[in-house]
């Protein structure tokens, strides 16, 4: 672990120890564990945040992302849906749900989620890219060029997006579609039914770096 990450983790653990009933402290710790790839510990921290304040959106949205990474699809869907119950107009959460459906090959549900995203925010680039990818998967090209163009327009003002990468991928839309349409779909894992959040993982102890 780098010194930077080590210091960040120590600070997050100290915050939880100082304020064990503060849901934001557990949320921040869960986010850090997620970014470090320590997914089981991230889930435990985020579930603790949910227990302390079940009406906050962010822990559920981040739980969805963690379960997505762990390929625990049904738990991820449930987490995103709970986040949307709390914040039904959040286009980012809606597009996250659409991308999870897309990954699972559930095209109808993914399309609905991306269209709902664009109704909430017509400048959500992730939804346009998701719809373009769905056309590739289905071997169609009715609106592929339009979706890619819309995504590029939305991303022009996004300082956090790799504009060079998007430009390289979409410089020649004909070549892009031909290349993407020849790629095999990603293998889908065998996913057993997921139990409720609280019973998914035995709660690991926080690994204090001070001991």
Predicted confidence band at 202 (pLDDT cuts at 50, 70, 90)?
very low
Question: Do residues 71 and 194 lie in contact, with contact meaning Cβ atoms separated by under 8 Å?
Answer: no
User: By percentage, how much of the chain surpasses pLDDT 90?
Assistant: 46
141/181 Cα distance (integer angstroms)? 10
Contacts with 97 (C-beta within 8 Å, 6 or more apart), sequence order: 64, 77, 80, 81, 84, 113
Give the DSSP per-residue string, 64-103.
HHHHHHTT-HHHHHHHHHHHHHH-TT-HHHHHHHHHHHHH
Model confidence pLDDT, tens digit, residues 17-26:
899 899 999 9
Report residue 187 as tokens.
């293998």
Q: Which residue has the higher pLDDT, 205 or 135?
A: 135
Report residue 165 as tokens.
């990468």
Q: What's the pLDDT at 176?
A: 52
Instruction: Count CB-CB contacts under 10 A for residue 151.
Output: 22
Predicted confidence band at 177 (pLDDT cuts at 50, 70, 90)?
low
Q: Is the pLDDT of residue 163 over 90?
A: no
Q: What's the pLDDT at 40?
A: 93
29/16 Cα distance (integer angstroms)? 8
Considering only CA atoms, which of 39, 24, 36, 119 is closest in space to residue 71?
39
203/41 Cα distance (integer angstroms)? 8
Q: What's the pLDDT at 22?
A: 93
2-6, 50-54, 110-114: range with lowest mean pLDDT: 2-6
Determine the average pLDDT of the residues in 170-187.
49
| C-alpha distances out from residue 93 to 86, 125, 209, Å | 11, 13, 33
Q: What's the pLDDT at 1?
A: 56
């Amino acid at each position: 672990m780098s010194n930077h990450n080590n210091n960040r983790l120590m600070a997050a653990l100290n915050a939880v120890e100082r304020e064990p009933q503060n849901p934001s402290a557990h949320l921040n710790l869960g986010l850090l564990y997620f970014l470090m790839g320590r997914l089981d510990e991230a889930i435990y921290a985020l579930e603790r945040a949910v227990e302390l304040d079940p009406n906050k959106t962010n822990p559920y949205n981040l739980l969805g992302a963690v379960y997505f990474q762990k390929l625990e699809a049904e738990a991820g869907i449930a987490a995103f849906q709970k986040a949307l119950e709390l914040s039904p107009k959040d286009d980012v959460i809606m597009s996250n749900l659409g991308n999870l459906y897309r990954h699972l090959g559930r095209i109808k549900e993914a399309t609905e989620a991306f269209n709902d995203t664009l109704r909430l925010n017509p400048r959500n680039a992730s939804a346009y890219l998701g719809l373009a990818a769905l056309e590739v998967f289905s071997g169609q090209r009715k609106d592929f060029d339009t979706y890619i163009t819309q995504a590029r327009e939305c991303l022009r003002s996004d300082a956090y997006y790799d504009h060079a990468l998007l430009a390289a991928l979409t410089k020649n839309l004909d070549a892009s579609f031909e290349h993407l349409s020849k790629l095999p779909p990603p293998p889908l894992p065998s996913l057993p039914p997921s139990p409720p959040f609280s019973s998914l993982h035995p709660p690991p102890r926080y690994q204090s770096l001070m001991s």
